[in-house]
Chains A and B, each alone.
Chain A
Amino acid sequence: MNQRNPAISKGIDWSLIGIYLLLVVIGLTAIFAVTYKEGDPIIQSFFRFKTDYSKQFYFFCLGTLIGFFILLTDSKFFAATANLGYALGIFMLLLVFPFHSPIKGTESIIKLGAFNFQPAELCKIFVALALAKYLSRPETDFTKTRAQLIAAGIALFPAALTLLQSETGLALVYFSFFIVMYREGLPSVILLIGIAVTALVVATIVIEPDTLAIALTVLAALLIYIFRRQIKRRRQILTTIIFLWVLCVGLQRFAVPYAFKNVLQKHQVERIYDLFGKDNPYLDKSAELTTEELKKKKESGTSYNVRQSKIAIGSGRIFGKGILNATQTRYDFVPEQRTDFIFCTVGEGFGFAGSFVLLGLYLILLFRIVTIAERQRSTFSRSYAYGVAAVFFFHIAINIAMTVGLAPVIGIPLPFVSYGGTSLLTFTILLFILIRLDADRQMVLR
């Protein structure tokens, strides 16, 4: 087919490219607003690669160039090299351990000359491709638990490596691939269990442990009462309910506290509790802090970020202050302004209207990708498309939710908008491979 239609424009989904360009422009504007100071020479700094917005602009150019080359590439190439790419990705992730640069707070970056290169970011592409490859293999029977475990392994192995590099946020992203697996037949029950566990963990944080335990017991008793007839017939139901009750209480009383104390790092626990406006009960009791100190800590810690971020967004009101009058974001009140908290700039500068438009764009993007996924003939393309949608969704939802105080602070970028070369390139490549595959949607790739 490809040979019969040599023009690369044939079959390309221009709406995706349009949204991509819009998002990049919004991102550039936002970064410009944050970094620009009165009197800076704009034109000059664009050419000089000195300011953040000019850097981002060049990365955009580079990304577009790479995207162009991707469009020129044969779609079969991606399916064919998927496993190799996965191996390469894992290799790069492993390379990080001996060669990471001494940047504070993370061990996931390799310095290549002037560039900071983050394999964990790039690896998402390879995982998306490899997972698609595995799911599209004719011999894969995804109804089998074994296949499901392998698929989960493909997705979560890089996550484990990333976690070891103290990049919790990026590691969590890999969980989004469960959406792909769900689409390809992962039992719904797993999804439900995931939701139930999340709900229970949240309840553990919000509700007093004893109260929660009593509530769970009462709930179990109620269930037994309601199903008393069925239980008479089938003892198994009673066993299940009791088993679930033990599991829940165990999770709530022992597993969650254990995880908070020993598995997660202190600041992560802190962030989670901050989100619900609670004080972290797992603080070292020997280092009792006075209320004064706690207050101070609150103001300097992550809750400060979220507070300032909420102030920034909230002060934008309906139509915003205008991008250069955004005092909160322009004068460094929100830390990590250009990268993880870039949404504040949009919220403050363009208000609810602007935020709504941006969110709308993202939602259109996601729905469009799902639509595209569903029109693929090959499982590979579809799975890959869902992978892209899942990764984008996770990034967008978590990033924005954390800036408005709905999710704990996890340092992951907002696709196409946040400042950062690697992340912009990663998302661009992810998207352009999808566009390339979609152009050949009638072809069956394996």
Chain B
Amino acid sequence: MSVFNQSRSRIIRLIFGVTFLVIIGQLFYLQVMSGKFRQLAMDNAVYPKIIYPERGIIYDREGKAILNNTISYDLMVTPAEIKGIDVQEFCRLMNLDTAEFNKRILEAKIKNTSVRPSIFDDQLTPDIQARFEENSWKFPGFTLVERPVRTYPFNAAAHILGYVREADPKDIEKSGNFYRQGDYIGKTGLEAYYEKVLMGQRGVEYWIKDNKNRLVGHYEKGSFDTAAVAGRGLRTYLDADLQQLAEKLMTNKVGGLVAIDPKTGGILAMVSGPNYNPNDLTGPEGSKNFGRLQLDVAGPMLNRAINGLYEPGSTFKPLGALVALDEGLITPAYGYPCGGRYMGCGSGKPACTHSGGGHSANLRNAIAYSCNSYFTHLYRMAADNPQYGGVKKGYMKWREYMNLFGLGVRLGVDLPSENKGNIPDTASYNKQYRGSWNSCTNLTLGIGQDQMQATPLQLANAMCIIANKGYYYTPHFVQKIDDETDDDTVYMNKFRVKHEVLTHIPDTAYRAVIEGMNDVVKFGTARIAQIPGIEVCAKTGTAENYTILDGRRIKLPNNSMFVCFAPKDNPKIAIAVCVQNAGYGATWGGPISRILIEKYLNDTIQKKSEADVDRISKANLIPAHYKRLQYKADSSRAWEWFKMTKDSSYIKKFRRAQADTPKPPAPKPADKQKTITYIWMQEEKKVASALKSRVLS
């Protein structure tokens, strides 16, 4: 029988063999043919842990750090490891109630499972951190984790330095997913502009994780790890002391201030008012303060030095003079008969502060006494220059000059979102006046009004051009990047090129204007800016302005404008100051500039100036109507919130706060509310555009 079935042993062997072949075939497919499994296993078991480099440090001209890094602590919790802790005691220590404690633990579990650590409380105050550290042994499952935080040793230069925040989805998308959720990114200021330099290079550590996502060790003993490279430092032209002083002077003022070294284009100080302490945005209260600043109608986060648009007013006059001189329309000796008002267009406008007395007998005097008629006339001469045939062509030539002076164009400062100001072109006038306009229509351009708008930075830069007799360097903060690479040098070269825009204007013309500006200080409108031993050249400006409040057009106090440079023969500093709604140019801008020049050139300030510092810094010049605007904005926001959520708590809170302050002057008709909201929205838009960060690319 067995012999009969002998052949079946072969069949059995065949079954064995075929089965094994099939299995080996599948193994061959899995292990040799298909390449995806190794990656899948990597995804499973290897966790690339990002190591964040320290961000670069920013130094002032003397090498003092004005933006540095410090460590703050996050409290992490691993819920599974909490065993037998005294929750009551813990909560007392951390200033929490038990409900909040339980809520946070639950959140941690949901977010990160109970075996992985998650943040229980971020950026502990030093007080709580110390308390926890003393008692940490009582609370297993809780650990402190370091987190690098930006710190500002001088409490200054908030607008210049900008701030970092977690990258939002838009940033991540824009960067082509280079940034990830949780990464910090420079949002404004130098932090944003030099993001690539400051951020350094992320490192990666590959960790092995197990099936519960616990990290259990280094992958391949760390042979694939890359080290983080710290961000490089920036050496700026900023003078920390000068900046601090300038910020002190601009306390409780709305406006902008820029001081530039004309020789290099390096910005020595830049202030925007109202200001804030950059340290407020870091630390435990950071988010709260951020929200508060953003809702403030005064726009403390808006950098008015590069975004505030102001009519230059009389500070424009030296430029008008140079245009006329260059076009050969006048000589320095040219005089214009001014009887107190400009009669050239028949309307008697603009009026002039002075009348007769030779205040406009020549260019120097006209500048010193700031004769409106004289410069209105110069503008009209330039616009109607027969050489170009027609006001439109003449105007375009004049506008070209303005652009060369840096007005109406972006200068290219190394900050994101610079405003280019406004010098209207003929098209815009054609549209407004349906094509029929002449040099009388916009004659106040000659005295820096009409639709001319400039930022403090542009005005300061224009001063540099005059001080340098025709050339300038693009205003910028960063002198040098630490360990500058070739790419950096190429990038930074735009700040190191001399722009010889107006050097063709003869020296005599410049000298006449400069002497005129010197006379302004010696005996003209800016005598307040006199400094013993230093020849200061300056020009005051006082620009009228209006706003619409509660549906009425109201005249606001004048903007105080002031531009200057010093010393006359070897200019080392050029300043432009604008204090909104503060009064005459000489009243506020003058002394502020004088103090800064003293500080910068002499390193000390006179007794007299010290008293001025005190007086000016204590003066609150925030325009009165802002309070009303804030009220309107807050109440409409509370109303919106109520409409959305039916939660009246904000309205109530708001009413309670309102009870302490005097009642608004006029009852508010419902239809006028819109105007206010509109103004607020405009203001908000401005803030938003100022905050819009631009990644350096």
Chain A residues within CB distance 8 Å of chain B = 38, 142-143, 179, 182-185, 308, 310-318, 325, 327-328, 331-333, 347-348, 351-352, 355-356, 359, 362-363, 366-367, 370, 373-374, 379, 382, 386, 389, 393, 397, 400-401, 404-406
Contacts and interface: CB of A to CB of B under 8 A. Distances in A.
Interface string B531-562: 00000000000000000000000000000000
B441 interface: no
B210 interface: yes
A363 B12 CA distance: 12
Contact of B38 (A38, A314, A373, A389): A314
Which 5 A-B pairs have CB atoms at the shortest separation, nearest pair first? A314-B37, A327-B45, A315-B41, A331-B210, A352-B31
Nearest to A382: B2
Interface in B1-54: 1-2, 4-6, 8-9, 12-13, 15-17, 19-20, 22-24, 26-28, 30-32, 34, 36-38, 40-42, 44-46
Contacts of A142: 1
Classify the secondary structure of B's interface with A. helix
Given A362-B20, A404-B23, A325 B30 contact: no
B697 interface: no
Given A184-B1, A366-B16, 18 more contacts: A38-B217, A183-B12, A314-B40, A317-B38, A331-B210, A333-B44, A333-B210, A333-B211, A347-B30, A348-B41, A356-B27, A359-B23, A370-B16, A379-B2, A386-B12, A393-B16, A404-B23, A404-B30
Contact residues of A: prevailing secondary structure: helix
Interface in B251-272: none
A327 B43 CA distance: 11
A362 B220 CA distance: 33
Nearest to B4: A185
A317 B31 contact: yes
B561 to A, nearest CB: 64
Contacts of B31: 313-314, 316-318, 347, 351-352, 355
Contacts of B12: 179, 182-183, 370, 386, 389
A355 B27 contact: yes
6 contacts: A314-B41, A327-B42, A328-B41, A355-B24, A389-B16, A405-B26
Contacts of B2: 184, 379, 382
B41 A332 contact: no
A406 B5 CA distance: 31
A409 B17 CA distance: 22
Given A183-B9, A314-B34, A352 B28 contact: yes
Interface string B199-221: 00000000011111000110110
A325 B40 contact: no
Contacts of A397: 19-20, 23
Contact of B209 (A179, A185, A331): A331
B127 to A, nearest CB: 40
A315 B20 CA distance: 21
A316 B34 CA distance: 11
Nearest to A140: B1
A356 B24 contact: yes
B149 to A, nearest CB: 35
B9 A374 contact: yes
Contacts of A318: 31-32
Contacts of A352: 27-28, 31-32
Contact of B26 (A311, A367, A406): A406
Given A183-B8, A352-B28, A315 B220 contact: no
Most buried by A among B19, B30, B219: B30
Nearest to A351: B31
A143 B17 CA distance: 28
B49 to A, nearest CB: 15
A305 B28 CA distance: 20
A283 B4 CA distance: 50
B115 to A, nearest CB: 13
Contacts of B36: 314
Interface string B58-100: 0000000000000000000000000000000000000000000
B23 A185 contact: no
B46 A327 contact: yes
A401 B23 contact: yes
Nearest to B28: A352
B41 A327 contact: yes
Given A359-B23, A363-B17, A373-B9, A315 B211 contact: no
Contacts of A314: 30-31, 34, 36-38, 40-41
Contacts of B27: 313, 347, 352, 355-356, 359, 404
A308 B43 CA distance: 12
Given A328-B41, A382-B2, A310 B210 contact: no
B9 to A, nearest CB: 5
